[in-house]
């Protein structure tokens, strides 16, 4: 059975990052941005900031247990001619600006390949990504390990996500969150990076199926069934590690995110294919099961005890002014953003 109301509860209460955490993220990003903008050395080269990754795509989920949740934002910068021969200098100078700040200098912060990471105790970390538009028209971020520019089109990727989500009637982002939940909380297809998962799921969404079946993406469970099954079909037709082009058209590829060398990449990809094949069969069985109690059991076998019915609310609680001696109960579906 579809049990769409159960999926609303699962997303709202278990999978989605809470609104107060999203608000906390927003306020912390704003504070860090203002601090960097005020820095005498790097501030003059800062033009703005742009959310990136799962935060921008609205696919961010609750972390496992007490783990940190993370979010990326791009620090839009202008070119500093003194750093022309060394792209990694943008990361080094960003790190230095945080290091000399009275607050952030006392917090854990480190240099990564494409960002500087700032860690907040027992809650979250921010990955701050220097981002430039070069004179030759390239939009780039820094690859510190290679000391080189790396093509990107973050806004283009976000626009692509919005288009795909619209085709899926607003359900693609929710499906991506559910699949990330399986990866992180249920230890399925571990090792598959979010950019790969998001791209491969999003690429399966298309207009053609809706012409043949207008209800193809009609609900979260229906979209989950079809997107995962379509992904399973695609993976079985592509047994070797695919390059995975950036759908924004930047010219970048994400295939290297499967692993640091070809053997490791193929192992990660093969495991991903195997797990998606298993999940496609599990999802189809739960979806097609006509007995409600058994269907709930099957869905819980996939997603856990967070998959449950909405709490019943008495009519007198919901409409106190209209309460009468005869009371009844009504269902109340949770809503997931």
Give SS3 for 307: coil
Q: Which residues of the chain have pLDDT under 70?
A: 313-337
Structure tokens at 193: 């990076």
Crossing angle of helices 194-204/154-167, nearest 10°? 40
Listed by start position, the domains of the chain span 17-152, 156-303
Q: 151: closest CA among 281, 254, 79, 48?
A: 254
Structure tokens at 69: 């949740």
Residue 64 DSSP symbol: S
Please indicate, yes or no, whether the overall pTM of this predicted structure exceeds 0.75: yes
The pLDDT score that the predictor gives to residue 313 is 60
The burial of 290, by beta-carbon neighbours within 10 Å (0-12 exposed, 13-18 middle, 19 or more buried), is given as exposed
The CATH number that domain 17-152 falls under is 3.30.460.90
61 contact partners, CB below 8 Å, separation of at least 6: 15, 16, 17, 54, 69, 177, 180, 181, 184
The pLDDT score that the predictor gives to residue 68 is 87
Crossing angle of helices 154-167/172-185, nearest 10°? 110
Tens digit of each residue's pLDDT (9 = 90 or more) over 317-326:
444 444 333 3
In DSSP terms, which residues pair with 128 in a beta bridge? Answer: 73, 116
Give SS3 for 169: coil
């Amino acid at each position: 059975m579809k049990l769409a109301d159960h999926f609303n509860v699962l997303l709202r209460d278990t999978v989605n990052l809470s609104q107060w955490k999203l608000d906390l993220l927003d306020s912390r990003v704003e504070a860090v941005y203002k601090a960097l903008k005020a820095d005498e050395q790097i501030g003059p080269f800062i033009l703005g900031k742009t959310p990136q990754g799962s935060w921008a795509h609205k696919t961010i989920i609750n972390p496992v247990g007490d783990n940190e949740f993370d979010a990326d934002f791009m620090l839009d910068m202008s070119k500093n001619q003194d750093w022309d021969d060394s792209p990694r200098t943008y990361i080094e100078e960003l790190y230095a600006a945080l290091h000399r700040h009275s607050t952030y200098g006392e917090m854990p912060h480190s240099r990564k390949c494409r960002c500087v990471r700032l860690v907040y105790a027992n809650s979250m970390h921010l990955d701050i990504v220097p981002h430039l538009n070069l004179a030759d028209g390239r939009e780039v971020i820094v690859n510190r390990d290679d000391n080189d520019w790396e093509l990107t089109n973050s806004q283009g990727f976000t626009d692509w996500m919005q288009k795909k989500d619209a085709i899926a009637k607003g359900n693609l982002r929710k499906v991506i969150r559910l699949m990330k939940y399986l990866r992180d909380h249920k230890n399925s297809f571990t090792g598959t990076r979010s950019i790969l998962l998001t791209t491969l799921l999003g690429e399966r969404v298309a207009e053609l199926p809706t012409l043949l079946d207008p209800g193809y993406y009609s609900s979260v469970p229906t979209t989950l069934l079809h997107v995962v099954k379509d992904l399973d079909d695609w993976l079985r037709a592509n047994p070797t590690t695919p390059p995975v082009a950036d759908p924004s058209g930047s010219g970048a590829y994400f295939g290297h995110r499967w692993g640091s060398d070809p053997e490791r990449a193929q192992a990660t990809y093969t495991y991903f294919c195997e797990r998606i094949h298993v999940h496609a069969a599990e999802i189809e069985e739960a979806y097609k099961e006509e007995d409600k109690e058994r269907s709930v059991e099957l869905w819980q076998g996939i997603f856990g005890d967070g998959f449950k019915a909405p709490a019943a609310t008495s009519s007198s609680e919901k409409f106190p002014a209209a309460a009468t001696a005869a009371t009844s109960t009504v269902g109340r579906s949770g809503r997931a953003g």
